Amino acid sequence: MSRTDTESRVPPGQRLTTGFPVLHHGEVPYYRDMRLWDLKLLGLVEENVTISYAEFMKLPRRTFVNDIHCVTTWSKLDNEWEGVAVATIMEKVKLKPEAKYVMLHAERGWTTNLPLEDFLRDTSFFALKHNGELLTPEHGYPVRMVVPHLYFWKSAKWLRAVEFRATDRPGFWERNGYHMYGDPWLEQRYDFE
Ligand SMILES: Nc1nc2c(c(=O)[nH]1)N[C@H]1C(S)=C(S)[C@@H](COP(=O)(O)O)O[C@H]1N2
Ligand SMILES: [Mo]
């Protein structure tokens, strides 16, 4: 790839890394018994759904290739992931018409918010593997969200629930000054006021 091609893929204020930095608040969860893991779909749905680990592992998977952009200014190009498409998960619930936003709930109460339409994009997915390897505990094992068109803090690691909401509400970092939306191309990093 030529230099300009690569440059055109790096949003303003970002620089490339070839490593895969680990960033999060709090401790990494280590799971001993996957029978205790599940993913819940709740909020503005006709009926709440709980997907067990065994069920999740049987869902059809796809490969996704993308670039990720962390608000702390690193970008990592050409990630290859294996994961479950959002559409596959959405077959399990019927949304109520008022649903306009999503709150992603991770282990230990960590949350992040995004508009429903961004969650539903066909580039957003539930990741299980990165560059051919199972997600490590540090990077979100067993399942993390990946929403590559927003800053990477919206990509919740250790995902446990997707909540559908009528109104937007700030998640963990958004309450602490991060932008409610987080478009890396518009440098929507922080929103202190
Ligand atoms: N559950 C959870 N997910 C999280 C975070 C967190 O603190 N907890 N941090 C976010 C932030 S700020 C970033 S930059 C990315 C980092 O993902 P990585 O450690 O796999 O690079 O995870 C995001 N997902
Ligand atoms: Mo971050």
Q: How many percent of the chain have pLDDT more than 70? A: 97
Assess if residue 174 is contained within a domain. no
130-188 pLDDT per residue, tens: 999 999 999 999 999 999 999 999 999 999 999 999 999 999 999 999 999 999 999 99
State how many domains the chain has: 1
Q: What is the pLDDT of residue 6?
A: 85
Q: Which of 5-9, 51-55, 166-170 has the lowest mean pLDDT?
A: 5-9
- Ligand 1 pocket, 152 CB below 6 A? yes
How far apart are the CA of 48 and the centre of ligand 1, in A? 26
Distance CA 127, CA 43 (A): 22
15-26 pLDDT per residue, tens: 999 999 999 999
**Res. 4 pLDDT band, cuts 50 70 90:** low
Assess if residue 191 is contained within a domain. no
- Ligand 1 pocket, 70 CB below 6 A? yes
118-133 pLDDT per residue, tens: 999 999 999 999 999 9
pLDDT at 1 over 60: no
Distances (CA, A) of 57 to 19, 126, 129, 142: 28, 11, 12, 10
pLDDT at 193 over 60: no
Q: Which domain holds residue 144?
A: 35-168
Nearest Cα residue to atom 18 of ligand 1: 22
pLDDT at 43 over 80: yes
How far apart are the CA of 153 and the centre of ligand 1, in A? 5
Q: What is the pLDDT of residue 150?
A: 98
Nearest Cα residue to atom 21 of ligand 1: 22
Which residue, chain included where needed, has tokens 């895969």? 20
How far apart are the CA of 147 and the centre of ligand 2, in A? 13
Distance CA 107, CA 3 (A): 40
Assess if residue 4 is contained within a domain. no
How far apart are the CA of 23 and the centre of ligand 2, in A? 6
Assess if residue 70 is contained within a domain. yes
pLDDT at 44 over 70: yes
Q: What share of the chain is helix, strand, coil (3-state, %, to 5)?
A: 20, 35, 45
Of the candidates 48, 168, 179, the residue with the CA atom closest to the CA atom of residue 101: 168
Assess if residue 137 is contained within a domain. yes
Q: What is the pLDDT of residue 5?
A: 82
- Ligand 1 pocket, 155 CB below 6 A? yes
Assess if residue 157 is contained within a domain. yes
pTM: 0.97
- Ligand 1 pocket, 25 CB below 6 A? yes
Assess if residue 23 is contained within a domain. no
Q: Which CATH number belongs to the domain containing residue 143 in this structure? A: 3.90.420.10
78-124 pLDDT per residue, tens: 999 999 999 999 999 999 999 999 999 999 999 999 999 999 999 99
